[in-house]
Amino acid sequence: MYVYYNPNPLGLSVGDCTIRAISCALNISWKQTYDLLAQLGYDMCDMPSSNRVWAELLKINGFKKYQLPDTCPSCYTIRDFCYDYPTGTYVVGTGEHVVCVINGNYFDSWDSGNEIPIYYFERR
């Protein structure tokens, strides 16, 4: 279920989870993702890492945002999300972290399966 994924050209994995997740979801390089976010951030007069900037990039690329129910906010994990969504491409947010889920597997530079998701973007 966990798949190691770190497209950062220098192998870094601090502060770039959004870039890594979107890179995986769109199947493009880390640098291409960074460039797209930087340009969109410039156009929107906001930082590339801003939630509204990367959400807009996902929407432009056919994703739709959904909130997860708050029925058990501390017991539903990214690993659980993978079981519940075994097919499709998703970018899942925890509020502090972002991870890509494809066909029931989560792709990250560390095992984030115990993190608590609060929303997700689904590729249509």
Is residue 93, in this structure, part of any structural domain at all? yes
The pTM assigned to this predicted structure is: 0.95
Residues 65, 47: Cα–Cα separation, whole Å: 20
Is residue 40, in this structure, part of any structural domain at all? yes
* Total count of domains within the chain: 1
Describe the crossing of helices 51-60 and 30-44 by its angle, rounded to 10 degrees.
Answer: 110
Is residue 97, in this structure, part of any structural domain at all? yes
**Predicted confidence band of residue 13 (pLDDT cuts 50, 70, 90):** confident
Residues 61, 81: Cα–Cα separation, whole Å: 22
The overall average pLDDT reported for the chain is: 95
Is residue 5, in this structure, part of any structural domain at all? no
Q: What is the pLDDT of residues 94-105, one digit of tens each?
A: 989 999 999 999
Residue range(s) defining the domain that contains residue 47: 13-123
Q: What percent of the chain has pLDDT over 70?
A: 99
Cβ pair 87, 101 in contact under 8 A: no
Is residue 7, in this structure, part of any structural domain at all? no
CATH number at 70 reads 3.90.70
Q: What is the pLDDT of residues 65-108, one digit of tens each?
A: 999 988 776 789 999 999 999 999 999 999 899 999 999 999 99
Is residue 54, in this structure, part of any structural domain at all? yes
